[in-house]
Structures are given as C-alpha cells and as structure tokens.
Structure 1
C-alpha cells in the first residue's frame, strides 16, 4: 500500500518537524519522503483528512481483551481493531485470558493469532502461576516468545519473598516486573475509596493507605534487589510522592495512571452505577489533582486506558458484587484532550514504549511508517453508538470529549474510522 498523507501537522517535541504541516509519502511501509506539496504519483493513494495531525504511534500499557476464554467480553480481532480505530499502534496485553498467559505456548498463541493485525500486541506474562501469588512462572521462556513484562493484573503480591525472587531473576535477561500495589489486608472488603462519599453511601471503603503501604514495601524490595519495576495505575497523591522520591534516589522505577483516575472522582458513585467501579477505586478531587500534577511534572511516566471489558452479567449487578473495570480505548484521546495539553498527551501515550522495550520509529525519511492520525479539535458527546468494543461498560458514557483519533498506519496497514 503506497500512500501520500496530505497537509499533516506533525506532533513530536523531539523532532525538527514538530508543529510543521507537511506531506508524508509512504512506500511499502517505509517513509520515502517528507515535504511540502508532494505531487500525487501513479500507484499512490492520497489521504486527506480534516485538520490532520500525525504523531509517533500511541502505546497503551494496560489492555485486557478476553480471548482466549472470554470471547463474549472481547475477541483479539475486534479488540485490536478497536485499538487501531482509537489511535493505538501498540498495546500491552494483560494475562487475563483463560488460560492465563503464563507459559511460552500461551505467549506464542497470542503473537501468532494477532500477527496480521495493524495494531501490534505485546503480551504481558503472568508473574506467578495462575496469578495466585505463590510460585513464579517461566518468565525467561515467555520473554523468548515475545512477552515484554511480567505481572499479575490488579493482583498484588502479598508474599514479599516472591516479589524479591522475581526482581532478582528477571535481571538475567533485563526483564520488567509490574508490581500492582495494594495491601489486601488493609483493603479488606472495601469496594470504593474510604472517605465522605463511602460513608454517605454506606459502602465499605478502601483507604489510600492500602496502595501507599504496598508501594513503600515494593520500593524497598526494588532498592534491595535492583532491577526494573513498573507500578501501574497509581491513584493517590502520596503514591506519586513516594515514586518521585524513589526516582530521585536512583531506583529504576516507572509508573502509569489510568485515564479515569485523571478525570473522574468518587462523587460519580452517588447513583451506584457499576460503570464507575474500578480498581484502584476512584478517589476525591484532591487526589485527582495530584495525579494531574504528577503527569505534568513527569513523575508519572505514562497514561493508560486500563481497558477492561466486562460482560453485562458481571457488571449489571449490585454494586458490591459487580466486577471492577471500565473500557477506555475509544474514549482515551477525547477524554484526555479535555484536561491536558496536546503535546503532553502525545508524549505520555508514547512514553511506555521505552519502558517496555518496544521499537518506536521516528517520523523521518527512511524510517518504518508507524504513526497515529488524529484531529485535536471538535467537541462531542461520547455515546453508546461510539463504542466498537463488544462490552459497553464505559465510565465515560455521556461525557463531553474533545478531538478524535482518525486511526493508524502501522504494520503496512491503514485503519481509519469511517
């Protein structure tokens, strides 16, 4: 597929082309020419889109789909198409299928099944067998099959010795450990943030201490063992400070924040709508503002949708029985645009590639063509009809968003919204 993208504004703070309007000529998946007024040639298709902006491809560091095992929630094929239409050239896939991705064969299945998609899967292998926190998995074999990191999705390792061993073991092959941080004893039977709203609603609360205490422990382990640790979806002000201090000490730690934690608070829970039941729980506005500050000052390295499709049978229940999770790919860019500067959004949606060791081609002549196409202008309301995912459990339904992703060019394929 040979293409010429016309009048595209490049958004890339590290490039001399940043904020310049250019044409981009792509031939057989390689950027052949970048310049002004590139003439249309035989065998080329011209792509002209309103207010077209292009950046290096976005990467989501935490995506759940469903297949294998939970295809009623989402399939690999449809989930990857949703990611492409949402502007993501790459996703890190959590090991939450059935069976859980914990062996070389599991990773190979995911890589093979998705090899022809435009959006590329980067599997996360389970850190412990069956994600039960007791025995570490065959991480080296999974790394050889294509796994980019190891963690148990939304499950904290209560046994400090297990996490210590994992951090030591992966250093032999430069592996990355994902340490979801929540003290389950402190959490207890809590289901929402512990505070004024939980008291008013009569719901059992989860104090910020549950997250912060576990982060302190995990950072101490990292300081002792060395290695690399990624702490996903931080949700409190003190968590951000703890990680900032750890970075200042020289620890190799990174972290992410979920989009819903940047935009929503526990005040949304007043109607007991289970779309807002997520893990970690939504916090008060003081915590939300601290997370935004952490993004802006660079303490929080990357932003994730933490996309987690849940079937209606497990979401349309009493609040305490419903599963945690919201989908977030389709609303990701438009939601962030209501809150953060465009250059920060693009940077934080790309930064996790370096953390996870993923190729990140430049937008330059001779480079592999891999980029996101989007329009940062235009306000709109996110409706159910905008959801392409099989599951519809979005916390952003009815929200006013700004700007839309057109799609991506990646793996030699162009995927655009109709």
Structure 2
C-alpha cells in the first residue's frame, strides 16, 4: 500500500443501508501515477471482498487504463471518480498524469529517507545518526537544486505538518524487518505513530497476450539466469546512460528483460534509440520492451536472478517481497538513500556513478555478472530470501 499517511490519500465514512446494516465507504486518492494507482486498486479489491464500498479518484487519463482491470465481480463495489483538472495550453488532459513528468511534491518514502529529511528540518546542522544513509557530492547538488525549486511552490506550513504533530499516524510501505531502527527514530523525531504496512498488495494475474509470450520466453531460461531491468514509470534514461546500459548488458553475456521508456512526445523507435546493431547482436538472449511489463510476474519467476532498478521505494519493496536481489542504479530524489539502505541490508549492490554522475558499461557488466553468475549473487539471494521470509512472518503475525 503506497500512501505515507492517512490524511493525504484515504478518507473513510459509513452509511446505513435500508436493512439497517452499515457499509463502510472509503475514498482513495492516490498520487497521479500508474505505479501508485495500481497498488491502490489491488487494495480496493481486497477491501471490497470484506464489504467496503470504494471510491477511487483520479484523472480521466489515469482511469482509462484502470477501468479494464475492474472485473464484473467488483463493478458495484469499486467506483471510479473522475478528477477534472483545469485545461491549460501547456497542461492538456493527456498530461494530467505524472507518468510523463519528472516527479516532485508528494512522494512515497521509506522510513529511513523520511527520518533523514525530518532530521534535516527539525535538527538543522545535526548529522543523521546512521552513517550508512548518506548522499554523495553530486547527489547533494541535485537534491539542493530540487529542494530550492520546490520551495518556491511550497505552502508556508507544509514542513510543519509532518514534523509538528499535524499528522498523528503515518502508514508507511515498509516493515520492521527492514527498517526497525529508522521507524523508531522517525517516531521519536516526529511524535507520530508509525505503522509499517508491508509491501503493496500484489496482483499477479494478467490476460495480456504479449505478457504471456514474454513469460513463456522467460520460462525457457535457467533458474536465476536472467536480470530484469526497469527504471519505473516516471524516470527516463539520458541517451548516454541508455547506451552505457545497453553495452553493459551486451558485455555481461547474461539473459535480460529491459523495459525502455521515453517521455511523452519524445517516443522513439527502439532500433534508433539503442546502439546500432544492438538488437541483432543480443538475439534471443534478451527482450527489450517499450511498454509496461508485468513486473510482479517477472520478479516472481524462478528464472529471474536480479533486478537492475532505480530504487524507487515501491520497486524495492516488491523485489524484497519476491526475494530478488537488487542491482541499484539510483537517479535522484530518495533513490540514492534507498540504494544505500538495501546495500546496508546485504540484499543489493550498487552501480556507482563517477564524480560527474556518469555510469560506465564496464562496471555495469561486471556487477551483473557478479550477481547472476558469481558467488556474490548466491549470498545476496540467500540474504534476500531470509528477509522476505521474515517480512511475511511479521505481516502474518500482525494480522
């Protein structure tokens, strides 16, 4: 479940039916991105099974793909409510989604990252007490630029809402198995009750013919022999980074599934976007997709041995849930600190950028081989399986 706190995304009420029974009604208002709406919809189905009446609110462009995922069973229990934003020359309706824009504003953070920023606000000048969670120099520069830009649009009391008791309870998509010390530190800093709710509710079902073809291809590969490469729905590689990733995958000689995405209005033919002859050279060893892939099914497959990820928190939690080690390639915002957190946990290795923020094909190739082929990967998978098992036990005990 993706919301950080109850008041931003969920509103609950009740109504009495003509028979005198009470139906709990729940309004869900997720962040305007597919990666957030999808887990909310999965939660909505689980709650509908327990008698809740759900209203899921988003923009028409987001709901267009959502409506097809509501089966006849849920038609009367899950209602889609359209949010019509003002139409502006630079913001037509097809842009009323964050999937085509850089992310800013409301974010889904780990407890480690949230406590890092709360410490920054409440104790300026006081170093974060866990040295494993840090930003490199180039990352500090990028974060400073982003914070300076966002401060111009920020309401005067936005910071105080989080740190001064405006929010009393926060639901965070995490677990004490993963972040116990950060949950406790955040609770102490903010005077909030922190409730770890585990990873997003998973829905592995897909009827897409292309997805079935991809999964059949994956089924022909050996156990733990394939790396899944995806950088989320809102982050796009530069041309230079895309070439380095492509050459790194080619040099690694490892099977792969790579999801390549482009910003709205800048779509390209894959052959033009990738290094010349790349698709021919990799042949049946790899699949390159320019659309959404069934990420959960791929991570849940026995042939998948690693996940090259930007380390958005949802992707991190999904990978932990399915026991797949992460090859971290963070870009900005909370992602570098998420990467440091999972490296600290012993379930990831990071592709480290140079002082100019660039990645290099040689390091990418070596890191992939270490995780998929060498003993490093065996250790990571063993540790990840243990944490995944403990996470499931923790959630089962709580229920």
TM exceeds 0.5? Answer: no
Higher relative contact order (CA 8 A, sep 6+): 1
Q: What TM-score comes out, normalization by structure 2 length?
A: 0.30
